A and B are shown apart, each in its own frame.
Chain A
């Protein structure tokens, strides 16, 4: 079974802090994704990566950066956390070969509260 793990289930940070959210997958997937989920909105893509050291902006990249130094690990960085970044963050991974038919496998999410 594919396993996608996220470093924390719950996180409380102060405004202005630098926040790291880590995601690790164990199935050698090429693609990795970071989403946020807010009430009344669907999952929205922040950043994704097709390969090590590669990154692409999603629909809402402002205020975020990412790092992918190893194939299995994809980090989301909030350089200076703000209250409007309070949200549920989900990481996902997928194989590259199947294109649009390829299933994305999700982690359990990190619920971040910025005070």
Chain B
């Protein structure tokens, strides 16, 4: 079992604020890091798959970085909008492609 942790557990930001949160994972035997967004009453939706140390990925106003040596990834949202409100999950697979998920960061963007 891989211990994947996310922080903070929840946060509330004002519309237009930028925010970031963290996913920590074991740096040994690292294969990949997946980020998902899970809106209420919808399916979790894939955001990014990251594999290389120093990787940086971007989708619109959301970006993510990866540090495999120290075992963390940051997710950044620039200029948060109410529609960014969701739970953000990260997952790290083992060699058998079994995903281990963090508990998620619940983001609420206040209009």
Contact = CB atoms under 8 A, between A and B. Distances in A.
Do the two chains belong together in a single complex? yes
Interface of A: 4, 31, 33, 35, 40-45, 48, 58-59, 90, 94, 99-109
Contacts of B31: 99-101
Given A100-B31, A101-B32, A108 B43 contact: yes
Nearest to B93: A100
Contacts of A103: 34, 46, 49
B101 A43 contact: yes
Contact of B1 (A35, A59, A94, A105): A59
A105 B46 contact: yes
Chain B contact residues, majority secondary structure: loop
The 6 nearest A-B residue pairs measured at CB: A42-B101, A100-B31, A100-B93, A43-B101, A106-B44, A106-B43
Interface string B7-31: 0000000000000000000000001
Nearest to A90: B44
Contacts of A100: 31-32, 93-95, 97
Contact of B41 (A33, A45, A102, A108): A108
Contact of A45 (B42, B95, B99, B103): B99
B42 to A, nearest CB: 6
Contacts of A31: 97
Contacts of A109: 43
Given A41-B103, A42-B4, A42-B102, A102 B43 contact: no
A45 to B, nearest CB: 6
B98 interface: yes
B42 A108 contact: yes
Contacts of A44: 101
30 contacts: A35-B101, A40-B103, A42-B100, A42-B103, A43-B91, A43-B99, A43-B101, A44-B101, A45-B98, A48-B98, A59-B1, A90-B43, A99-B31, A100-B32, A100-B93, A100-B95, A100-B97, A102-B97, A103-B34, A103-B49, A104-B34, A104-B46, A104-B99, A105-B46, A106-B36, A106-B43, A106-B45, A108-B41, A108-B42, A109-B43
